[in-house]
Amino acid sequence: MRLSSFWRCAAAVAALVPSFATAEDADNPSGQSTFISPDKDLGFAFTIGNVDVNDYFVTMRLKTSRSWGAIGLGSNAMAGALYFVMYLNEKADNVTFSPRLAYGNYEPYFYDSLKWQYLNHSIKDGFSTLSFRCIDCQNWPGGTSGKGYLDFTSHDQKSIWALGPHQKLRSNDQKAALRFHESHGVFNIDMARTRGAEDTPALTDKSVDEGITRVKETFGRDHMATTLMNLVREIVVNRRNSDADNTMIIVVVGTAFSLTLAAMSLGIALWMMHDMKKNAALREANRLL
């Protein structure tokens, strides 16, 4: 009697367990693939609809203290990827979305002809979130690295992520200059598993990696290089933006260069004179002996 009630109880529990396991988690719905950066400052969620196979749905979430955040699809290297870059607008009440392409290991440039549809955004709890539908963006010009392409049947679609430094960028300009990334990494997305209902992918503070393989991550290690790159970039940008002409710089650099040359010539002349005097003195001494 006891035993049979035990088994009845066990069967009841067993029947309950799967229903718990399959219950839809609002923060991590089953129909999307989700990537969360190791410091949780950047999130990316991806899903494909059933009908329009060339469209897909993206949600990105970025910590507002970061200057920018980006996801690059279709490549494990900077070159050839299709980039979704996001940053706060000037008033910090909306997100500026900037699709970009990179043809080398330098700053990606604005990709004007990407078709996308804004879905919604929010800025709260120290994070900005943007959802959009990418229209017909399975292909893009990949430059010398070949044609950019996303294979929606892939379980390991090459991707990269990058985070800008903790600074204010705040711009409405989709072409805004980006400071060199502070950390970045490489991961693969299972795209095939996301085929299904057309919906806006969810991203919250409780979202976790789903359908993602992490390949490699780099932080801080390139700090020195990052600082130098930012410095050079800043000088270049300041020069580009400044109205002052370059005459002053040419005059200063030219004068410094001329003065250095003059000083060197003088040094050589003095040294030669000194040498001549010494030789003359030696000759005189020899003559006297």
Instruction: Tell me if 129 contacts ligand NAG by CB under 6 A.
Output: yes
Span from 9-17, 94-102, 137-145, 157-165 in contact with ligand NAG (CB under 6 A): 94-102
Contact between 69 and 95 under an 8 Å Cβ cutoff? The reply is no
Closest CA to 163 of 73, 93, 244, 85: 85
- Residue 207, both tokens: 């979202």
Instruction: Tell me if 120 contacts ligand NAG by CB under 6 A.
Output: yes
Nearer to ligand NAG, 43 or 72 (CB): 43
Q: With b meaning 16 or more CB within 10 Å and e meaning fewer, what string describes 41-72?
A: bbbbbbbbbeeeeebbbbbbbbbbebbbbbbb
Nearer to ligand NAG, 172 or 279 (CB): 172
Residue that the structure tokens 């000083």 belong to: 263
Contact between 86 and 95 under an 8 Å Cβ cutoff? The reply is yes
Instruction: Tell me if 227 contacts ligand NAG by CB under 6 A.
Output: no
Instruction: Tell me if 63 contacts ligand NAG by CB under 6 A.
Output: no
Among 122, 139, 172, 227, binds ligand NAG (CB under 6 A): 122
Cα(first)–Cα(last) distance of the chain, in Å?
Answer: 134
Instruction: Tell me if 128 contacts ligand NAG by CB under 6 A.
Output: no
Instruction: Tell me if 230 contacts ligand NAG by CB under 6 A.
Output: no
Instruction: Tell me if 97 contacts ligand NAG by CB under 6 A.
Output: yes
Instruction: Tell me if 118 contacts ligand NAG by CB under 6 A.
Output: yes
Among 28, 54, 76, 94, binds ligand NAG (CB under 6 A): 94
CB of 239 to ligand NAG, least distance (A): 30
Query: CB neighbours of 282 closer than 8 A, spacing ≥ 6?
Result: none
- Residue 265, both tokens: 């010539």
| Size of the residue set binding ligand NAG (CB under 6 A) | 11
Quote the CA–CA distance of 45 and 37 in Å, as a whole number.
12
Contact between 161 and 35 under an 8 Å Cβ cutoff? The reply is yes
Closest CA to 57 of 203, 215, 206: 203
Instruction: Tell me if 183 contacts ligand NAG by CB under 6 A.
Output: no
* Strands in 81-189 per DSSP E: 82-88, 95-101, 109-110, 115-124, 127-135, 139-140, 148-149, 157-163, 183-189
Among 32, 67, 75, 131, binds ligand NAG (CB under 6 A): 131
CB of 7 to ligand NAG, least distance (A): 43
Span from 34-42, 90-98, 100-108, 187-195 in contact with ligand NAG (CB under 6 A): 90-98
Residue that the structure tokens 């004179």 belong to: 273
CB of 77 to ligand NAG, least distance (A): 28
Residues 190-209 that bind ligand NAG (CB under 6 A): 200, 202
Nearer to ligand NAG, 30 or 153 (CB): 30
- Residue 11, both tokens: 């069967």
Among 121, 133, 158, 184, binds ligand NAG (CB under 6 A): 121
Span from 101-109, 113-121, 213-221, 250-258 in contact with ligand NAG (CB under 6 A): 113-121
Q: Which residues bind ligand NAG (CB under 6 A)?
A: 94-95, 97, 118, 120-122, 129, 131, 200, 202
